[in-house]
Homo-oligomer: A and B are copies of this chain.
């Protein structure tokens, strides 16, 4: 591939980006797309909307960029939670390290590469891209020391930055814990594997156990019940009824914009009607003798203090480790109710099964990737398949085929993965929605690094030497670094186009939200439903975005000293990402649940992995170039990087795994002094409610309207994921989580 082809590709992408960004800046000013582009703002706002028409609306503007740029971190924290801050920190970290790497590599390494061999250079646009990579440096050249030096500087700065980030995120996590004073999750423990007794219901068994062994700290508990099919049908029917009826009642309310309170009296009275009938049914079901049949062997147990809850969550309760299994309860909105009923004793089999299936999925995904990659190497393929020559003669077709198509195909295939991984994570038995997303995020990370990064490197080389010699070499593990070393500089070309297409374009799609727009159209013009509250809002798809950003960082690190030309494209991507994601976090996504920064350890590990990978590849390249000294000098660097990682594991990781006793005890003191403890205790029981009916019975319905739909929504999410999986059309949001925005 020549520089001109790359520039063509860049040109196309820049044009696409500019068009989409302008389109976005126009669309966001249209009131009817308010619920697409300002989901979060709408969820917070409760005032009436003023939408006078003016011509300004039709012109593109850059005001959103300025707003996104100016927002403070506290603002982000308030609207996106700690996870959003962690995600943006990842982007900031990438910007910092790749700015340094770009400066260093373009002014130090690139000239050495370019003038590496004594050759006549062509006009720059028609130079092959390999001229700019380390492949152009002469074997045995002493100039490789510059590459080695650059590697040292990049590694050391990356470690310093990582340490700084880890420390500040640890601090943020601690203050996230201390600031959540009224968080009911702190006082609650989820108990599973309650032993079955012939004479008692689970309810009684739990009460007996905890009032015996935790007499001083046990407050009360709440069982998890089987969600019957009738219950499900009724709530679904209620929802359908609401969706169809509300357009008619809307006129009375005067505004379609008052989301909270659901059109005042009408909706409320409707709800009360539905739920009274339901609660009657429930009462006859539950309060009778069938109560035991409806119970799962799981319960939320509430304690008087945070410290007592932590202690109960950490301890091994019974000599049989499969019984009385306790763990910290997730926040009420975060609970993944569907999984709570799973018998604890079979969870380990599920986990193993999911692990095996995930590995198989990751492995067999290689097939479409290989096909994709063969398009990049069309010029090599045409030697084998002569009929291709005719098509490839036309320059533009050739450039399009090699520069643009492969990435698009790959990207489309990649959209299947996130919903599948979410499904896997749910099957594993995640008890909270945030942990489900985190698990999917880590699975996708492996998936992306293996299927995009490594697969492209290896398949690229295999097709290059069609004989299959490489395949044989690969079987010998000692050759892998060498194989990587020879492949990475050449595959860098593909990575550049990948960044241009998948990277830049995904940001445009993220901004434009085509799926949400389509849904909007569908609701508005097909279903003729004007109640915007039923369109649904989304939570941030960390499980797709974090792996994507990390994948680009891995490409950046590994190519930095091999093919420095990639760095400017990458920097542009990260700058755009910074603006786009800030905008989206501030405006679009709602934050119903969060992990509290638990994504950072995964990010840290992935970064360390990419650093070590870079060093191994560099060492291999230095070896291939017969500069054994430079090759040897990278080994201490590998060891130091691994030691640094181990230090961070020791120093910071435990805070992300367990809560510090000191912190919780001090929070308990604060509560006691302020006298809020009693109030918190009273709210605990109502915080975790599985069904509408129970909420009604407690008469706390109006306080926590959002929780009434939690269990149905989880089913909806699964359906949405499944749909996306089949159609593969959920561009930008492969597995969105549809969520009512009736949040306080």
Tell me if B317 and A654 are in contact (CB < 8 A).
Answer: no
Interface string of A586-629 (1 = CB under 8 A from B): 00000000000000000000000000000000000000000000
- Cβ contact of A348, chosen from B646, B659, B665, cutoff 8 A: B646
Q: Which residues of B contact A315 (CB under 8 A)?
A: 310-311, 314, 658, 660-661
Is A316 among interface residues, defined by CB-CB distance under 8 A? Answer: yes
Is A289 among interface residues, defined by CB-CB distance under 8 A? Answer: no
Is A478 among interface residues, defined by CB-CB distance under 8 A? Answer: yes
CB distance from A221 to the nearest CB of B (A): 17
Tell me if B661 and A321 are in contact (CB < 8 A).
Answer: no
Main secondary structure of the interface of A (DSSP, over half): helix
Distance between Cα atoms of A324 and B654 in the complex (Å): 13
Given contacts A643-B352, A647-B348, A650-B322, contact A317 B662 (CB under 8 A): yes
A window 294-338: CB within 8 A of B: 310-312, 314-322, 324
Tell me if A661 and B475 are in contact (CB < 8 A).
Answer: no
- Cβ contact of A654, chosen from B310, B316, B653, cutoff 8 A: B316
Distance between Cα atoms of A477 and B663 in the complex (Å): 50
| Residue of chain B at shortest CB distance from A352 | B646
Distance between Cα atoms of A646 and B314 in the complex (Å): 22
Distance between Cα atoms of A653 and B655 in the complex (Å): 25
- Cβ contact of A661, chosen from B213, B647, B650, cutoff 8 A: B213
CB distance from A366 to the nearest CB of B (A): 18
Is A637 among interface residues, defined by CB-CB distance under 8 A? Answer: no
Is A229 among interface residues, defined by CB-CB distance under 8 A? Answer: no
Is A174 among interface residues, defined by CB-CB distance under 8 A? Answer: yes
| Residue of chain B at shortest CB distance from A325 | B654
Is A286 among interface residues, defined by CB-CB distance under 8 A? Answer: no
Size of the A side of the interface (Cβ < 8 Å), in residues, is 39
A window 81-109: CB within 8 A of B: none
Distance between Cα atoms of A580 and B485 in the complex (Å): 59
Distance between Cα atoms of A317 and B664 in the complex (Å): 10
Is A682 among interface residues, defined by CB-CB distance under 8 A? Answer: no
Which of A319, A324, A646, A652 lies at the interface centre, i.e. has the most chain B CB atoms within 10 A of its CB?
A319
- Cβ contact of A476, chosen from B314, B349, B475, B651, cutoff 8 A: B475
How many copies of this chain does the complex contain?
Answer: 2
Interface string of A212-241 (1 = CB under 8 A from B): 010000000000000000000000000000
Q: Which residues of B contact A316 (CB under 8 A)?
A: 654-655, 658-661
Given contacts A174-B319, A315-B658, A352-B646, contact A665 B477 (CB under 8 A): no
Which of A213, A476, A478 lies at the interface centre, i.e. has the most chain B CB atoms within 10 A of its CB?
A213
| Residue of chain B at shortest CB distance from A319 | B660
Q: Which residues of B contact A310 (CB under 8 A)?
A: 315
Q: Which residues of B contact A647 (CB under 8 A)?
A: 348
| Residue of chain B at shortest CB distance from A212 | B665
Tell me if B319 and A663 are in contact (CB < 8 A).
Answer: yes
Tell me if A319 and B655 are in contact (CB < 8 A).
Answer: yes
CB distance from A291 to the nearest CB of B (A): 26
Q: Which residues of B contact A322 (CB under 8 A)?
A: 650-651
CB distance from A520 to the nearest CB of B (A): 45
Q: Which residues of B contact A319 (CB under 8 A)?
A: 170, 174, 655, 660, 662-663
CB distance from A436 to the nearest CB of B (A): 21
Q: Which residues of B contact A476 (CB under 8 A)?
A: 475-476
Q: Which residues of B contact A655 (CB under 8 A)?
A: 316, 319, 321
Tell me if B314 and A654 are in contact (CB < 8 A).
Answer: no
Q: Which residues of B contact A660 (CB under 8 A)?
A: 315-319
Interface string of A632-672 (1 = CB under 8 A from B): 00000000000100110011111100111111010000000
Distance between Cα atoms of A606 and B541 in the complex (Å): 43
Query: Can you name 25 A-B residue pairings with CB atoms under 8 Å?
Result: A174-B319, A310-B315, A311-B311, A315-B658, A315-B660, A315-B661, A316-B655, A316-B658, A316-B659, A317-B661, A317-B662, A318-B660, A318-B661, A319-B655, A319-B660, A321-B651, A321-B653, A321-B655, A322-B651, A324-B662, A348-B646, A349-B643, A475-B476, A475-B477, A476-B476
* Inter-chain pairs besides A213-B661, A314-B315, A321-B652, 16 sampled, C-beta below 8 Å: A213-B662, A311-B314, A314-B314, A315-B658, A315-B660, A316-B654, A316-B660, A316-B661, A319-B655, A319-B662, A321-B654, A322-B650, A322-B651, A324-B662, A475-B476, A475-B478
The 7 A-B residue pairs with the shortest CB-CB distance, nearest first, are A321-B654, A315-B661, A316-B658, A319-B660, A311-B311, A348-B650, A316-B660
